A and B are shown apart, each in its own frame.
Chain A
Amino acid sequence: MTDPSTAASGSSVEADQFVTGAENAKPTTTKPRSLASDAWRDLRRRPLFIVSAALILLVLLMAAFPFLFTQADPNYAELSRSRGTPSAQAWFGYDNQGYDIYARTIYGARASIIVGLVATALTVLIGGTLGLLAGYYGGWLDGLMSRIADIFFGLPFVLGAIVILSSFGSTGTTSQTQILFLVILSISLLSWPTAMRIMRSAAITARQQDYVKAARALGASGPRIILRHMLPNAVAPVLVYATIALGAFIGAEATLSFLGLGLRAPVVSWGVMIADSRDIIRVAPHTLLFPAAFLTATVLAFVMLGDAVREALDPKMR
C-alpha cells in the first residue's frame, strides 16, 4: 500500500502517486470530495460494476416492459407442443403445458424481481436499522431487540411463512397483488433477525472505535454518530448478506409457490417455472435450464454489484 514515508516528504514528485489524475491536472483548485462522490467516481471505472449494472438494467427493463422483448403470450398454452425443444419459433422451447418458455421467462422477471428486491430492501432496512440502534444504545434496548430477534430466529422459515400466508391470505378472495405483498412480508418478517445480528455486531465494533469517541467529544449528536461514523463503517457485512439474500429470497418465493401458498397462475415467476419443471427435468431439461439461468444471472449481477459497491465504499480498497 502507500508508503507513509514518501507521503511524509510532501514533495510534489513523490506525492503524485497518491493523487488522482483529476487532482493532478489543477492542483490549486481541488473541489471538496466526499466518500459518496469518491465511491461513484471509482465505481464508474470498474468493469465489474459496469457489467453487473448493465445486466441489472436489462432485467429491470424486462420486468417493467416485458412486451418489448417478446410478442408471444406467456399464458397461451397448447398441449400439442408440450415439451417442445428450442426452435426458431420458441427460442427456449415449450414446457409441459405447452407454454412458450421464452415468453414466460421474460414475463416471470417482474414477480421474481419485485419479490427479491422488495424483500431484500425490507429485510436490510428493518434489520439494519434495529441492528444499528441496538449496537449504538446497547443496554436494555439491545437486550429487548436481541430477544425479539431470537424469537423470530427460532421460527423455521417455511413453517412461519405457511402460518403467515395461510392466516392472512384466504385462498379464494385474495388478489395476486395481495399474495405478492404477503409473500414479501412473510419473507422479510422471518429474515430480518439475520440482518440485524450482522449489523449489530458490526455496529458494536464501530462504536468502540476512537473516532466515535472523538466525535462525542466534539459534541456530535446520536443520529450524527450513527449515520456519519457507524453506518459507513458497519454497512459492508450487511451489503454482502443482502446480495446473497436476494437470490435466496427469489428461491424462497419459488418454495412458497411450490407449496401452493405463493404466487399462482396466471402470474408467472421464475420460481413458479422452476417448481413446475421439477417432474420433467430428465426428459425436458430446458424447462429448468432457462428460468434457472436467468435467476442465476440476475443473482450473480446483484452479488457483483454488491461487491463493487462494497469495495468502492472502502477507501483502502481503491
Chain B
Amino acid sequence: MTDNIIEVRDLTKHFPVRVGVLFKKTVGHVRAVDGVSFELKRGETLGVVGESGCGKSTLAQVLMRLEPPTSGQATFEGRDMFAMKGAELRKLRRDIQIVLQDPYTSLNPRMTVGDIIGEPFEIHPEVAPKGSRREKVRDLLDVVGLNPEYLNRYPHQFSGGQRQRIGIARALALKPKVIVCDEPVSALDVSIQAQVMNLLGDLQTEFGLSYVFIAHDLSVVRHLSDRVAVMYLGKVVEIGTEEEIYERPTHPYTQALLSAVPVPDPELRGKRQVIRLEGDVPSPVDPPSGCRFRTRCWKAQDLCAQEEPALVTRDAGDHPSACHFAEQRAIVP
C-alpha cells in the first residue's frame, strides 16, 4: 500500500446547471466526473484516455485542487488531499504540479521566461534562497533542453514545442513528486509531440516522477504509460496495465477506441476490423441508466439498461472492466 502515492476513491465532480437571471434555479448537474477510483504508484505513469467531454480534464482540475470535488476521497502519501489547508496545502502544491494543454495560453505573455520559471520560487521562497534562483532557472531551462540564455525572452518568441518545454520547466521547478499532464501534447505537431513525450519520459527517469498522463490519443498514452484508465462519460470503464489494455481489451468502448488507432504498417492496413460507434456521447447532464455506454454499444441488452456494471475483474479478462459482457477481442493486428 505504501508505494501508492495517490489514491482516489469514488471521486465525483458535478457542475450545477443553473437557469434564471436574478434568482438562479438549479435544474440539473453535469456529471463531469462520476465515481472515479484509481491508484497511482510511485514512479509510475497512469494514462487516462477518453474522448472529448468525458471528464479527463475535470479530473485533473480536481486532483490539482483547482476545483473542489463534489464527493469522494483522495489521499496523497496517505493524507487526505481535500482536507488540506494552509501550510499543508502549500506543501501539496509543491508536490503535485500540472502541465497544461495549450502552450499558447498557459504562459503569461507579459512575463519573461525567467520570470515564468522563477515564479514557483517566489511563491515558495523556502525552496530556493534568493541568490540561487537565477541559477536554478538556468538549470531548469537546460534540463528541458532549452538554451539557458533564453532567460530574458518572452513566450511569443518561442514555438509551441519550446513553450511546452517552458511549461514543463515551471512544473519541475519545485521538484514535485507527481505531475499531472493535461493533454500536454495534443496542441503540438506530431513531430514535436514525440520530442516532448521523450522529454517527459527522460525526466521521469531522472527525477523519479509519477505522472497522471491525460490524453485523447491512445498511441500517445501507450508510449509513456505503465497503466491505463479508459474513461467514458465521467466513469472509468476499464483499467489495467498498458499491455492488458492494448493487447487484451475487454470493454467494447476500449475495443472501439483501439480499432480507430491508425496502423503504421501499410501491409496490415485495411485488414483490421474497424468498429464504428454510432451517434454522439450522451449528455452528461442526463446520462443513460445502467451502463453509460449502452446507447452506442453493439452488445447492449436489457440488463445493461437496468444494472450498472461494476469495474471489477471478470472471467473473460485479467483486469477490471465495467461491462456485463466483457470479452477479449484482438484489435491490434
Contacts and interface: CB of A to CB of B under 8 A. Distances in A.
Interface stretch (B100-108, B246-254, B258-266): B100-108
Contacts of B147: 10, 15
A313 B110 contact: yes
A214 interface: yes
Interface string B119-163: 110011000000000100000000000110101111011111110
Contacts, number: 108
Contacts of B64: 217
Contacts of B109: 233, 314-316
A315 B124 contact: no
Contacts of B58: none
B93 A219 contact: yes
Contacts of A213: 66, 98, 100, 106
B153 to A, nearest CB: 7
A209 interface: yes
A7 B162 CA distance: 9
B158 A219 contact: no
Given A4-B162, A7-B162, A214 B106 contact: yes
Interface string A218-240: 11110010001100110000000
B89 A219 contact: yes
Interface string A1-13: 1101101101000
B159 A4 contact: yes
A34 interface: yes
B170 interface: yes
A33 B118 CA distance: 12
B119 A2 contact: no
B327 to A, nearest CB: 41
B114 interface: yes
B162 A233 contact: no
Interface residues of A, number: 39
B149 A27 contact: yes
B167 interface: yes
B158 A4 contact: yes
Contact of B110 (A19, A217, A314): A314
A218 B123 contact: yes
A315 B108 CA distance: 11
B70 to A, nearest CB: 19
Contacts of A38: 112, 152
Nearest to A23: B152
Contacts of B124: 218-219
B120 A32 contact: no
Interface residues of B, number: 43
B171 to A, nearest CB: 8
Given A218-B93, A315-B110, A1 B156 contact: yes
Interface in A152-196: none
Contacts of B170: 214, 218
Nearest to B148: A30
A211 B104 CA distance: 9
A210 interface: yes
A215 interface: yes
A216 interface: yes
B66 A224 contact: no
Nearest to B152: A33
Nearest to B104: A210
A52 B116 CA distance: 33
Interface in A37-73: 38
B167 A214 contact: yes
Contact of A30 (B94, B151, B157): B151
Contact of B112 (A15, A33, A224): A33
Interface of A: 1-2, 4-5, 7-8, 10, 15, 18-19, 23, 27, 30, 32-35, 38, 209-211, 213-221, 224, 228-229, 232-233, 313-316
Given A7-B159, A32-B151, 6 more contacts: A4-B159, A34-B112, A35-B111, A209-B108, A217-B97, A220-B123
Interface of B: 64, 66, 89-90, 93-94, 97-98, 100-102, 105-112, 114-115, 119-120, 123-124, 134, 146-147, 149, 151-154, 156-162, 167, 170, 174
11 contacts: A2-B156, A8-B162, A35-B112, A209-B108, A210-B105, A211-B105, A213-B100, A217-B64, A218-B124, A219-B123, A233-B108
The 7 A-B residue pairs whose C-beta atoms are closest, nearest first, are: A4-B159, A219-B93, A315-B154, A210-B106, A232-B110, A210-B105, A211-B108
